[in-house]
Structure 1
Amino acid sequence: MQTNILLINCPDQSGLVFKVTNILYNKYDLNIISNGEFVERNFNHFFMRTEFSGAFDREQLLKELYAVLPANVEISLTDQKKKDIVLLATKEHHCLSDLLIRHAFNELNANVRCVISNYNVLEDLTQKFGIPFHHISHEGMNREAHEAAVLETVQRYTPDFVVLAKYMRILSGEFVSHFSNRIVNIHHSFLPAFVGANPYAQAYERGVKIIGATAHFVNNDLDQGPIIAQNVIPVDHTHSAREMAQAGRDVEKNVLAKSLRLVLNERVFVYRNKTIIFE
């Protein structure tokens, strides 16, 4: 039987969990498979993620939930169907190839609709997996014209999410506005440290003892969007910046894959400039 996912966030008040589960179980006899709740104490805000199965009338269920919850509640009710995603890449293959392999073996809850790149370096790799590849060169075009061409191609596929698999171009606020909290980026450092370009060179110069990677949603501030997942590995003074970059690639692809598992399975709430994660 199909599983449905209910996401609720609203100002906290007494009895919210009871109100929701009472409707699901007592009124609709739905089977609650899992349930998670969290209250952000600083802002007294409530978050709830519930997986359930059973037959129900969607519009009626939503109507009853809105009737018992605070007036400014946000409710999302989805099934577990695969999301459509578009991948943007430049030249580095490690994140893209990892996602394409996971997709080929049905390890992503997603349909990879296409890959878009400003270079053709990764075209042969992409086509080995039967995925459409669009080479939209930035050469001879100003940034605005190139981005408009990329946006037009992305929108042709109407994706649920856009994934920047080492796409090494900064997106404008205009582009980002079309996909609010729906662009996932992998950044090759442990944010908020070492933002921008050449983070491994920055890390080397500072003599860091750990390096890491951060997956985050993209917003108008460079590398400052809500963080989804992070991880680190140890390094020491014997590692050059090049060796740090090589070691970091495995971290990057694993962190990106983890972030997509969370996002594609409706386990992430975005609140202010942070995320609430139900793993």
Structure 2
Amino acid sequence: MQDSIQQQKVLKIVCPDVAGLITKITAICCQYKFNILKNNQFTDNKTSYFFMRAELAGCFYHQDNFFKDLDILLPIGSQYFLKDIDRRKIVILVGQEAHCLGDLLVKSAYGELDVEISAVISNHKRLSQLVHSFDVPFIFLKNEGLTRLEQEKNITDSITLYQPDYIVLAKYMRVLTPEFLRRYPNKIINIHHSLLPAFVGSRPYHQAYARGVKIIGATAHYVTNQLDAGQIIMQDAIHIDHSYSVEDMIRLGHDVEKNVLSQALNQILTHRVFLNGNRTVLL
């Protein structure tokens, strides 16, 4: 009976580029009677690496044998993943700003973003009522009187209760320690209110105003040990001019920030993001 259960999964492959890869991969999918619903691929000519994302439909009861055959088929140094298409779980860390958090709560609640928000963790109480109005657990963890490591241990303990697929920093505004980041490699996504790599760190709108920029924007990126230097997932921008104050830039920038964050999260949840050194590939 298990053989007859139809499912949909996403096949992701990263490997050294060689001739005939697509033909070989599609042939083995046909062998296992996987119907390819969608397929995208990209070859990085500078690194000679091949990236492929395929949406498959079929019976995956024998996927271990499928993996063994892929091992034989693909070049040495290949990586491949068969991802379930289901509702993913996130935990959100937030400070006092509501725009990114509120956008994610609304989109999750009304099906615009296929994600379950398991909990919201904050070092401030300000947004508790907003979170509770969506029947999502709100966890307040104070900073006062605690070292950074003690406070992060409390965060880790809370995250562990929910076992999320990803952790989203929706304007959390605190730098996380290397010890914390090592627990969640490539699992923490941040929204930064500038077009990175420009205006790293705090008060980027003030930095932008001081330089008289004519474009402001936001960047969603993976979090690494280097501040605001993780691989960029999504960016967007709007045009401004000399008449805009810092307050004008912040107000307009909020819309860009929330849109970039939700778009980037959607790309991650649908398994479209590939790491490629210091860059990302989106398929």
Q: 2:53 pairs with 44, 49, 53, which one?
A: 49
Q: Structure 1: state its 5+ residue gaps.
A: none
Give the 5 Å matches for 1:120-269: 120-269=125-274
Query: Does the CA contact (< 8 Å) of 2:7 and 2:59 recur in 1?
Result: no
Deviations 1:96-139 (A, max 9, x none): 00000001012222211000000011100000000001000111
Q: Does residue 4 of structure 2 align to residue 18 of structure 1? A: no
Provide the secondary structure at the position in 1 that maps to 2:218.
Answer: strand
Provide the secondary structure at the position in 1 that maps to 2:82.
Answer: strand
Amino acid at match of 2:250: A
Provide the secondary structure at the position in 2 that maps to 1:169.
Answer: coil
Query: Does the CA contact (< 8 Å) of 1:10 and 1:47 recur in 2?
Result: yes
> In structure 1, what is the equivalent of residue 104 of structure 2?
99
Deviations 1:35-91 (A, max 9, x none): 111111111111110001011311111111111101221111012011111000000
Provide the secondary structure at the position in 1 that maps to 2:221.
Answer: strand
Query: Does the CA contact (< 8 Å) of 2:232 and 2:279 recur in 1?
Result: yes
Provide the secondary structure at the position in 1 that maps to 2:176.
Answer: coil
Inter-partner Cα distance in structure 1 for 2:85 and 2:141:
33
Q: Does residue 40 of structure 2 align to residue 36 of structure 1? A: yes
Inter-partner Cα distance in structure 2 for 1:66 and 1:110:
32
Inter-partner Cα distance in structure 2 for 1:91 and 1:76:
37
Tell me whether 27-36 or 128-137 shows the greater mean CA deviation: 27-36
Provide the secondary structure at the position in 1 that maps to 2:236.
Answer: strand
Q: CA deviation at 1:149?
A: 0.9
Tell me whether 177-186 or 224-233 shows the greater mean CA deviation: 177-186
Inter-partner Cα distance in structure 1 for 2:279 and 2:160:
27
Inter-partner Cα distance in structure 1 for 2:38 and 2:80:
17
Percentage identity across paired residues of the two chains: 45
Tell me whether 126-135 or 150-159 shows the greater mean CA deviation: 150-159
Q: 1:70 pairs with 70, 75, 81, which one?
A: 75
Query: Does the CA contact (< 8 Å) of 2:141 and 2:151 recur in 1?
Result: yes
> In structure 2, what is the equivalent of residue 3 of structure 1?
8
Inter-partner Cα distance in structure 2 for 1:137 and 1:175:
17
Q: CA deviation at 1:259?
A: 0.1
Amino acid at match of 1:69: L
> In structure 2, what is the equivalent of residue 274 of structure 1?
279
Provide the secondary structure at the position in 2 that maps to 1:156.
Answer: helix
Q: Structure 2: state its 5+ residue gaps.
A: 1-5
Inter-partner Cα distance in structure 2 for 1:213 and 1:119:
24
- How many residues align structurally? 277
Structure 1 runs, 4 residues or longer, greater than 3 Å off: none
Deviations 1:183-235 (A, max 9, x none): 01000000000000000000000000010000000011000000000000011
Inter-partner Cα distance in structure 2 for 1:139 and 1:119:
11
Inter-partner Cα distance in structure 1 for 2:237 and 2:8:
34
Query: Does the CA contact (< 8 Å) of 1:86 and 1:161 recur in 2?
Result: yes
Query: Does the CA contact (< 8 Å) of 1:181 and 1:270 recur in 2?
Result: no
Inter-partner Cα distance in structure 2 for 1:177 and 1:15:
38
Q: CA deviation at 1:2?
A: 3.0
